[in-house]
């Protein structure tokens, strides 16, 4: 049985709507402990594998230096679940794709970086643009 509740609501102008802070991102781990802001990296490499896993995805790339030496790097990405909900599959980033990564190197000096900016070699964003462009065709909901 429903009761109608009458609640007096004061009308407040939109100007009174102060910036409502977005709920802080649930920071489940400290990236400042993992990556070193004093060690920026810009990597250009070939994808060997993308791990579509949680809590973070990881993109493995081979980076070839000018002298022909190949170094393997791991780049940290976000949880892939939101991409999967939009229709992306593991085929979205196949082995062999050329990518460019901007981020910082791991604090312990290993060949790991956070994927702050990841694009294909032609500059196209890896998955989604911030306005949600880039979702696979037919995945619109």
Write the CB contacts of 126 (distance below 8 Å, at least 6 apart in sequence).
93, 99, 118, 119, 120
Q: Is 66 in the site for another protein (CB under 8 A)?
A: no
Tokens 């060690």, residue?
Answer: 39
User: Is residue 22 near another protein by the rule CB under 8 A?
Assistant: yes
Q: Does 124 bind another protein (CB under 8 A)?
A: no
CB of 71 or CB of 110, closer to another protein: 110
Contact with another protein (CB under 8 A) among 44, 54, 72, 94: 54
**Count of residues in contact with another protein, rule CB under 8 A:** 81
Q: Collect all residues with Cβ–Cβ distance below 8 Å to 100 and sequence separation of at least 6.
A: 42, 43, 44, 117, 118, 119, 120, 121
Q: In this chain, which stretch among 11-19, 41-49, 63-71 interacts with another protein, using CB under 8 A?
A: 11-19
């Amino acid at each position: 049985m429903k009761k109608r509740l009458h609640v007096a609501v004061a009308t407040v102008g939109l100007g009174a709507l102060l910036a409502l802070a977005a709920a802080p991102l649930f920071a489940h781990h400290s990236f400042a402990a993992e990556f070193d802001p004093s060690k920026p990296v810009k990597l250009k490499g070939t994808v060997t594998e993308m791990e579509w896993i949680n809590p973070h995805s990881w993109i493995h790339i081979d980076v070839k230096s000018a002298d022909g030496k190949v170094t393997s790097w791991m780049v940290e990405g976000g949880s892939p679940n939101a991409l999967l909900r939009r229709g992306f599959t593991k085929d979205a980033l196949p082995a062999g794709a050329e990518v460019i990564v901007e981020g910082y190197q791991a604090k312990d000096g290993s060949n790991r970086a956070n994927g702050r900016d990841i694009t294909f070699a032609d500059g196209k964003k890896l998955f989604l643009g911030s306005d949600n462009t880039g979702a696979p065709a037919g995945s619109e909901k």
